[in-house]
Amino acid sequence: MDADELETDVDKVAIAPSLGPELRRRRKAAGLTMKELAAECGLSQPFLSQIENSHAMPSLFALHKVAQALDTTTVALLEPNYSALTLVRQGEGERFVLADGATVRFLTPGEGHRLEANETTAAPGVAMSHKIVHAGQELVSVIEGQVTVHLDGQEPIVLEPGDTLSYPATTPHRWSSGELGARFLMVSSPPSF
């Protein structure tokens, strides 16, 4: 099993039981076998079986690959009940580990939204190892600290508090935090996570 497949810093007991049945439901609705889904998202078939049976919790990036293969979002897999109105107050919202020293808080739970907003908090010097590619447009707005956005074909773009960058999400992208860490919003349309 790839180290990127397994998430170790989340409450597996609370999340894995709801994720497994939702993943199975969506896989079957898409008419995919577990082997076909594994090939589509680049994860092992035994690992997908563990997720569906609520015995494992994938990393956020692995879950993102699964969501893309199923033509849905990570949030929709984790919180399948849609509500047109959502309110996430300060200190609330599901939090997940992105990397050592970085967490993401989902601000638009459920599915059916036309956009998705997530708040990321990163310790100093955190660099995402994976570049992400997905449909639509993405926006990064820095609240605290410093974030450098790395877009294929571009020089790194350094963002300070109050700075906002928008770019096509089809461009491979990743971010890294500055020496003081960072807190920033990532908004995607359509939703990708």
The per-residue pLDDT for 138 is 94
53 confidence band (pLDDT: 50, 70, 90) = confident
Q: Where residue 91 falls among pLDDT bands split at 50, 70, 90?
A: confident
pTM for the complete prediction?
0.62
CA distance 65 to 51: 14
Pick the CATH number of 95-189 from 3.30.1370.60, 3.30.1330.90, 2.60.120.10, 3.30.70.260: 2.60.120.10
Tell me the residue ranges of DSSP E strands in the chain: 95-99, 102-106, 116-122, 137-151, 157-159, 164-168, 173-189
102 compared with 59, residue with greater pLDDT: 102
Contact between residue 193 and residue 68 where contact means Cβ atoms under 8 Å apart: no
The DSSP-derived string for 42-74 is T--HHHHHHHHTTS--B-HHHHHHHHHHTTS-H
Of the candidate CATH numbers 2.40.110.10, 1.10.10.10, 1.10.260.40, 3.40.980.10, the domain formed by 12-72 belongs to 1.10.260.40
What gap in Å lies between CA 16 and CA 68, rounded to an integer? 19
Q: Cα 72 from chain centroid?
A: 12
User: What local confidence, expressed as pLDDT, does residue 83 receive?
Assistant: 56
pLDDT band at 147 (very low <50, low <70, confident <90, very high): very high
Average pLDDT, integer, range 133-138: 89
Mean pLDDT, range 50-63, rounded to an integer? 86
At 6, is the pLDDT very low, low, confident or very high (cuts 50, 70, 90)? very low
Q: What is the CA radius of gyration of the chain?
A: 16
Residue 122, pLDDT above cutoff 70 = yes
Domain ranges within the chain, ordered by starting residue:
12-72, 95-189
Distance CA 73, CA 66 (A): 9
Confidence band for 84, pLDDT divided at 50, 70 and 90: low
